[in-house]
Amino acid sequence: MTSSNPATVYRLDYTASSFLADRIDLVFDLAPSVTQVRATTELHRNPDSENRDIVLYGEELELVRIAMNGKVLAKPDYATDNGELRIPDAPDKVTLVIDTLLHPDQNTSLMGLYLSNGNFFTQCEAEGFRKITYFPDRPDVMATYTVTLRADREKYPVLLSNGNLVEEGDLPNGRHYAKWEDPFKKPSYLFALVAGNLVCREETFRLADGRDVLLQVWVEKNNLDKTAHAMESLKHSIRWDERRFGLELDLDRFMIVAVSDFNMGAMENKGLNIFNTRYVLANPRIATDLDYANIESVVGHEYFHNWTGNRVTCRDWFQLSLKEGLTVFRDQEFSADRTGSESGRAVKRIEDVRTLRQLQFPEDAGPMAHPVRPDSYQEINNFYTVTVYEKGAEVVRMYQTLLGRDGFRKGMDLYFKRHDGQAVTCTDFLAAMADANGRDLSQFERWYSQAGTPRVKLQSHYDEKNRTLTLILSQSCPQTPGQTEKQPFLIPVAIGLLDSHGKDMPLRMEGDKAAPNSRTLELSEESQTFTFIDVAEKPVVSALRNFSAPVILEYEQSDDELLHLLSHDSDHFNRWEAGQRLALRRLLSLTKAVQADRTLTLDSAFIDAFRAVLTDTALDPALRELALTLPGEMMIAEKTDEIDPAATHRARQFMRRTLAENLEKEWLNAWQENRTEGAYRPTPQDAGKRALKNLALSYLLLLDKPAYGRMAIDQYHTADNMSDRLAALTSLVHSGWTDKLPEAKALPDHFYREYENEALVIDKWFSLQATSPNADTATVRKLMKHPAFTLKNPNRARSLIFGFCHNNMAQFHAADGSGYTFWSENLIELDRINPQVAARLARCMDQWKRYIPSLRKPAEQALRNVSEQSLSRDTREIIGKTLSA
Question: Over the stretch 17-29, which tens digit does the pLDDT of each residue have?
Answer: 999 999 999 999 9
Q: What is the CATH number of the domain that holds 762?
A: 1.25.50.10
Write down the pLDDT at residue 4.
Answer: 58
Kindly indicate the confidence band of residue 545, based on its pLDDT and cuts at 50, 70 and 90: very high
Cβ of 849: how many Cβ atoms within 10 Å? 16
Q: Are residues 427 and 470 in the same domain?
A: no
Q: Indicate whether 431 belongs to any domain.
A: yes
- Cα separation, 60 vs 83, whole angstroms: 9
Q: Are residues 522 and 388 in the same domain?
A: no
Q: pLDDT of 189-248, one tens digit each?
A: 999 999 999 999 999 999 999 999 999 999 999 999 999 999 999 999 999 999 999 999
Averaged pLDDT score across all residues of the chain: 97
Write down the pLDDT at residue 140.
Answer: 98
Q: Output Rg (C-alpha) for the chain, integer angstroms.
A: 28
Q: What is the CATH number of the domain that holds 438?
A: 1.10.390.10
Residue 1 has pLDDT above 50, yes or no: no
Q: pLDDT of 87-112, one tens digit each?
A: 999 999 999 999 999 999 999 999 99
Mean of the pLDDT values across residues 267-283? 98
Residue 3 has pLDDT above 60, yes or no: no
Q: Indicate whether 396 belongs to any domain.
A: yes
Amino acid making up residue 476: S
Q: What is the CATH number of the domain that holds 515?
A: 2.60.40.1840
Q: Are residues 180 and 51 in the same domain?
A: yes
Q: What is the CATH number of the domain that holds 157?
A: 2.60.40.1730
Residue 5 has pLDDT above 90, yes or no: no
Determine the 3-state secondary structure of 304 from DSSP. Answer: helix
Write down the pLDDT at residue 639.
Answer: 95
Q: pLDDT of 762-782, one tens digit each?
A: 999 999 999 999 999 999 999
Judge whether 318 and 296 are in contact, CB under 8 Å.
no
Q: Indicate whether 851 belongs to any domain.
A: yes
Kindly indicate the confidence band of residue 870, based on its pLDDT and cuts at 50, 70 and 90: very high
Number of domains making up the chain: 4
Q: Indicate whether 156 belongs to any domain.
A: yes
Q: Are residues 434 and 463 in the same domain?
A: no
Q: pLDDT of 157-188, one tens digit each?
A: 999 999 999 999 999 999 999 999 999 999 99
- φ and ψ of 518, to 5 deg: -150, 140
Hey, which residues does 334 pair with through a beta bridge?
none
- Cα separation, 85 vs 95, whole angstroms: 15
Residue 392 has pLDDT above 50, yes or no: yes
- Cα separation, 697 vs 732, whole angstroms: 9
Q: What domain range includes position 496?
A: 455-478+488-549
Q: pLDDT of 644-680, one tens digit each?
A: 999 999 999 999 999 999 999 999 999 999 999 999 9
Q: Are residues 328 and 373 in the same domain?
A: yes
Q: Are residues 438 and 467 in the same domain?
A: no
For the chain, report the end-to-end CA distance as a whole number of angstroms. Answer: 24
Residue 2 has pLDDT above 70, yes or no: no
Please return the burial class of 807, using the count of CB atoms within 10 Å of its CB with bins 0-12, 13-18 and 19+: middle
Q: Are residues 332 and 461 in the same domain?
A: no
Q: Are residues 440 and 416 in the same domain?
A: yes
Residue 342 is a catalytic residue: no
Asked which of 196, 217, 245 is the last residue of a domain, the reply is: 196
Q: Which helix (H) or strand (E) holds 206?
A: strand 199-206
Judge whether 251 and 271 are in contact, CB under 8 Å.
yes
- Cα separation, 569 vs 104, whole angstroms: 57
Q: Indicate whether 647 belongs to any domain.
A: no
Q: Are residues 70 and 172 in the same domain?
A: yes
- Cα separation, 839 vs 109, whole angstroms: 12
Judge whether 385 and 363 are in contact, CB under 8 Å.
yes
Determine the 3-state secondary structure of 567 from DSSP. Answer: helix
Q: Are residues 71 and 191 in the same domain?
A: yes
Q: Indicate whether 763 belongs to any domain.
A: yes
Active site residue: 125, 127, 268, 302, which one? 302
Q: Indicate whether 216 belongs to any domain.
A: no
Q: Are residues 503 and 430 in the same domain?
A: no
Q: Indicate whether 802 belongs to any domain.
A: yes
Nearest to 359 by CA among 54, 802, 677: 802
Q: Are residues 153 and 5 in the same domain?
A: yes
Judge whether 474 and 529 are in contact, CB under 8 Å.
no
Asked which of 196, 217, 243 is the last residue of a domain, the reply is: 196
Buried (b) or exposed (e) across 82-109, using 16+ Cβ within 10 A?
Answer: eeebebeebeeebbbbbbbebbbeebeb
